[in-house]
Every structure is written in structure tokens, then in C-alpha cells.
């Protein structure tokens, strides 16, 4: 590539990134304080008292003892809130107390359970910033499958979604979880082909493959450190790496392939578990036992919530009646008469495109690794949400984001088909990157 062509490409991509960032910032940064308040925000802000002991290395603090707050969710979101409120000048002595859902709002306010407007704004600010990061990642993931048109469709849907404006700006776990998940998916576009090509074809350098695998695993570990269901991402990524190595075209012996698959998956898994445990001093002792108790605690919580709320999904019939309306209509990005049907149809088309390309990738043919990554890893995060027993809006985050990604893929692939152009990134080309 000639120097002037390289500089032109860099300038175009830089301008593209700047424009995407400006659109998302204009959408997500204004009106942070006006976002609908949820009592869970009070609890997450209160429990961000763990931020100060963590950054000061006080692993023996009482905050890491076994109690409700250490069992209910991992602490990454509390650290994110801690960074935000610290930037705003709020330390642990100025936190609200925890919201009591058995009392009305007026009494909670009187008892100091409502965070002050300033504390709430600064706690939400980093969530809005992470929402912008998520939107950027969505653009590049979709673009890697069907080109920039599909990426622009997806990022614009992301920018105008009322559901995402609320869910990703509240001081809760959802925004860090989504950002880390999407960044982990994006990192697989470099990690998977670099490692599989080096193992199967002896091309490239193994240190770069190891470095990318470590980064991908660490990002997946951060997702798990935001919310326990992020652990599914680590497992799915390990499987993806192993499958990529075993199916990569090449003439090397299968003993090398299986060894490379085990090593690659092991590096990624070790980095993921290392990040998950390293960010949570509660897990430094009796790690497996405490992780098991965290899962048990969460399942007990959900069972109790199921019994005490009217927003429940009791059986499969109710699930089939409720979920499509929540994902494609109520929480969808499109908003016009019949938009739910349009969103659903385009999502199905996008899934078909992903399945087709992922199969071509799996069979060693020319196809983007991004399709396999989105289908396998996005599905690993979206499918569990479809089995929820609670009809709570923020539980639909991953299905909603997966839907808008599929809509972008459907539009982009249709446009390329009409124009007679092939889909962009080919497997062999990525491996050479």
C-alpha cells in the first residue's frame, strides 16, 4: 500500500470514529440527571463504598466479608461508580444508604436512601460514557460482517433507542457489562484469526496471538466482574478459539492443532478468570466455594422476587406471548405502527445471514470471523436472558442489542446483494492482518 493511500485510509477511519463518537455523545450525555430513577441505583451507589478499599489495596476491609453485598453481584460496576463520584468530589462518607423496597419513596427519601442529585449525576456519568463505547463497538462489529452501511444502521438505532438511553445511563451493572462484552467480541476479530493461522499455517508471530487472546480473555473477565452471567462469555470464547484452530485450513498435524486449541483456550480462560477473581478480593479465599454461594444467592433472590412481584413469567406460553413484544416492540429502537413486526422480521433475516456466514467460516471457506463471533458469543449472552422468569425491562438488554445488530446486518447484507457486492472481510484476509 502506498503511503498516501495508507494516510487517506487512516484519515477516513479517524473521521468516521469521530463522527460516530459525536453522534453517540450528543445522544447519551445530555440529560443524565433526568433519567428515570430506579431504587436499585441507590443500592449500587451505596455499595460503591468498596471502591476506596480496593484502590488502596485494603483486601482485609470489612467490605470483603461474606454478606449480602459481596454475594449479590461482583463489584466492577461499583468501581465504575466510585470513579465517577470521585471525579465529582464525592467520597464514601457522602453516600446514601440502601433503598428499602418495602417502603414508599417518600419514606426512603426521609431516611437518606435517595442519592443526592449531584451524587446520582456523577455516578451515572461513567455509565453514559460506557454506553458510547458500546455504540462504537456495535458499529465496528456489524461493519466487519456486512460493511459500513450496516454499521451505520446499527449505531443509529443504538443512538435513538429510548430503552438503551434509560438502561445504559442508570447507575447499575448493565452498562459496564455490555461495554466489556462488546469489546471482548471486538477483540476476537484479531485474537481468533491470528492464533488459528499461526497454529495451522505457521504464519504470523505467536506472541501477538497470545497477547490478543489474553486481552480478549481479560475483557470477558471484566464482563463477568460486572455481572455473573458474564462468566458464560469466557466459556463461549474458549470454545470459539478451540474450534477456530481445529477448523483452520492448513496441512499441520492434528496433534499440533489440538495442542494449539488447548493452549489458546487456556490462555484466554486464564486471563478471564484472573480478571474476574483479581477484581474481587472477596474471592481471594475459598474462590470456588464463594463463587458457588454467589450463584446460589442469586438464584434464591430471583425465586423470592418471582414470588413477590406481579412482573413474572410463569411458563412457556407466557414467555412466547411476552418476550417478542418486549424485545421488538416496547424496547425496540424502531417506533412506528407495526414496527415490532418489522424489527422481528429484520432480526430473523440478520440471524440467517449470521448463521450462513458462520457455517462458511466453520467449514474453512471465505467468510468473516465476525459472523461466528457475533453468533456464538452474542448468542451466549442473549439466549440466557430469554429464559428469565422475571419480566423486568433491563433483563432484555442483550436480546435488544442483538436484535439491532441483526437489523444492521440485514440492511447491510441486503444492500450489498442489491449492489452485487460480496460481503467484506474474508477469513484468509483477516488472518493476514
Q: Could you please report the per-residue DSSP string of 88-147?
A: TT--GGGPPPPP-TTS-HHHHHHTT-SPPHHHHHHHHHHHHHHHHHHHHHHHHHHHHHH-
Between helix 231-247 and helix 174-201 the angle, nearest 10°, is 20
285 has a pLDDT exceeding 90? yes
Distance CA 120, CA 124 (A): 6
- pLDDT band of residue 7 (cuts 50, 70, 90) is very low
pLDDT tens by residue, 259-270: 999 999 999 999
Confidence category of residue 430, pLDDT binned at 50, 70, 90: very low
- Could you tell me the pLDDT band of residue 254, with boundaries at 50, 70 and 90? confident
Residue 236 burial (CB count, 10 A): 20
Q: What are phi and psi of 390, to 5 degrees?
A: -115, 130
| Residue tagged 477456530 (cell numbers) | 244
Model pTM score = 0.91
**pLDDT number for residue 64:** 95
- Asked if 93 contacts 322 with a C-beta cutoff of 8 angstroms, the reply is no
Closest CA to 66 of 302, 276, 293: 293
Cell representation of residue 210: 497470545
pLDDT of residue 367: 76
Mean per-residue pLDDT of the chain: 89
Instruction: Look at residue 92 and tell me whether its pLDDT is greater than 60.
Output: yes
Q: Model confidence at 3, in pLDDT bands (50, 70, 90)?
A: low
pLDDT of 83 over the 60 cut: yes
How many Cα atoms sit within 13 Å of 328 on the Cβ side? 20
Q: Is residue 302 a contact partner of residue 390, using CB atoms and an 8 Å limit?
A: yes
For the chain, the structural domain boundaries read: 3-432
Segment 23-40 shows an average pLDDT of: 95
Mean pLDDT throughout 195-200?
85
* Main-chain phi, psi angles of 15, to 5 degrees: -65, -40
Query: Is the pLDDT at 406 greater than 80, yes or no?
Result: yes
- Which pLDDT score is estimated for 395? 86
Q: Which stretch of 53-67, 140-154, 347-361, 369-383 has the lowest confidence by average pLDDT? A: 369-383
> What are residue 312's DSSP bridge partners?
390
Contact 281, 59 (CB under 8 A): yes
Three cell numbers written together for 298: 442469586
Task: Pinpoint the alpha helices (H) of 248-286.
Answer: 254-278
Q: Report the distance separating Cα 207 and Cα 194, nearest Å.
A: 10
Does the pLDDT at position 386 exceed 60? yes
List Cβ neighbours of 421 (8 Å cut-off, separation of 6 or more): 147
Q: Quick one: pLDDT band at residue 235, thresholds 50, 70, 90?
A: very high
Share of the chain above pLDDT 90, in %: 64
Residue 330 above 70 pLDDT?
yes
Q: Do residues 153 and 411 touch, judged by C-beta distance below 8 A? A: yes
Which 8-state DSSP code applies to residue 37?
Answer: P
Those residues whose C-beta lies under 8 Å from the C-beta of residue 205, and which sit 6 or more positions away, are 198
**What is the mean pLDDT of the segment spanning 66-90?**
95
125: confidence class by pLDDT, cuts 50, 70, 90: very high
Task: Name the residue with higher pLDDT: 257 or 272.
Answer: 272
Query: What's the whole-number mean pLDDT along residues 289-297?
Result: 94
Q: Cβ distance 41 to 166 under 8 Å?
A: no
Give the Cα separation of 181 and 382 in Å (integer): 11
Average pLDDT over residues 153-176: 96
What confidence score (pLDDT) does residue 42 get? 96
pLDDT at 427: 45
Question: How confident is the model over 77-93, as a mean pLDDT?
Answer: 96
In angstroms, the Cα distances linking 129 to 24, 168, 171 are 9, 9, 12
Instruction: Report residue 255 as a C-alpha cell.
Output: 496433534
354-360 average pLDDT score: 91
Q: What do you get for the CA distance between the two ends of the chain, in Å?
A: 13
Amino acid at each position: 500500500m502506498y503511503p498516501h493511500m495508507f494516510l487517506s485510509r487512516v484519515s477516513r477511519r479517524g473521521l468516521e470514529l469521530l463522527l460516530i463518537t459525536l453522534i453517540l455523545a450528543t445522544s447519551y450525555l445530555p440529560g443524565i440527571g433526568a433519567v428515570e430513577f430506579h431504587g436499585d441505583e441507590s443500592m449500587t451507589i451505596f455499595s460503591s463504598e468498596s471502591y476506596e478499599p480496593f484502590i488502596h489495596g485494603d483486601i482485609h476491609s470489612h467490605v470483603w466479608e461474606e454478606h449480602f453485598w459481596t454475594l449479590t453481584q461482583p463489584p466492577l460496576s461499583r468501581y465504575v461508580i466510585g470513579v465517577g463520584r470521585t471525579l465529582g468530589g464525592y467520597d464514601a462518607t457522602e453516600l446514601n444508604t440502601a433503598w428499602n423496597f418495602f417502603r414508599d419513596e417518600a419514606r426512603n427519601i426521609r431516611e437518606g436512601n435517595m442519592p443526592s442529585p449531584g451524587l446520582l449525576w456523577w455516578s451515572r456519568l461513567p455509565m453514559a460514557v460506557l454506553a458510547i463505547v458500546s455504540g462504537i463497538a456495535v458499529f465496528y462489529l456489524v461493519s466487519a460482517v456486512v460493511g459500513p452501511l450496516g454499521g451505520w444502521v446499527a449505531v443509529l438505532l443504538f443512538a435513538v433507542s429510548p430503552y438503551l438511553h434509560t438502561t445504559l445511563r442508570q447507575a447499575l451493572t448493565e452498562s459496564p457489562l455490555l461495554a466489556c462484552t462488546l469489546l471482548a467480541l471486538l477483540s476476537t476479530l484479531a485474537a481468533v484469526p491470528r492464533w488459528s493461522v499461526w497454529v495451522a499455517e505457521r504464519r504470523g508471530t505467536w506472541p501477538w496471538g497470545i497477547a490478543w487472546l489474553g486481552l480478549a480473555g481479560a475483557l470477558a473477565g471484566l464482563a463477568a466482574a460486572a455481572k455473573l452471567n458474564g462468566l458464560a462469555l469466557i466459556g463461549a470464547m474458549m470454545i470459539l478459539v478451540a474450534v477456530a484452530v481445529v477448523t483452520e485450513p492448513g496441512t499441520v498435524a492434528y496433534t499440533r492443532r489440538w495442542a494449539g486449541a488447548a493452549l489458546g483456550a487456556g490462555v484466554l480462560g486464564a486471563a478471564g478468570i484472573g480478571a474476574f477473581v483479581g477484581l474481587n478480593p472477596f474471592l481471594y479465599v475459598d474462590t470456588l466455594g464463594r463463587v458457588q454461594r454467589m450463584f446460589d444467592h442469586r438464584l434464591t433472590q430471583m425465586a423470592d422476587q418471582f414470588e413477590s412481584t406481579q412482573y413474572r413469567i410463569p411458563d412457556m406460553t407466557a414467555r412466547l406471548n411476552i418476550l417478542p413484544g418486549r424485545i421488538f416492540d416496547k424496547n425496540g429502537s424502531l417506533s412506528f405502527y407495526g414496527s415490532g413486526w418489522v424489527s422481528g422480521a429484520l432480526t430473523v433475516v440478520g440471524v440467517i445471514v449470521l448463521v450462513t456466514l458462520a457455517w462458511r467460516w466453520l467449514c474453512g471457506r471465505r467468510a468473516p470471523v465476525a459472523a461466528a463471533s457475533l453468533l456464538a458469543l452474542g448468542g451466549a449472552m442473549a439466549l440466557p436472558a430469554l429464559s428469565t422468569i422475571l419480566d423486568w425491562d433491563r433483563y432484555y438488554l442483550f436480546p435488544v442489542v442483538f436484535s439491532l445488530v441483526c437489523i444492521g446486518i440485514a440492511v447491510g447484507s441486503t444492500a450489498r446483494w442489491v449492489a452485487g457486492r460480496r460481503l467484506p472481510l474474508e477469513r484468509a484476509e483477516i488472518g493476514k492482518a
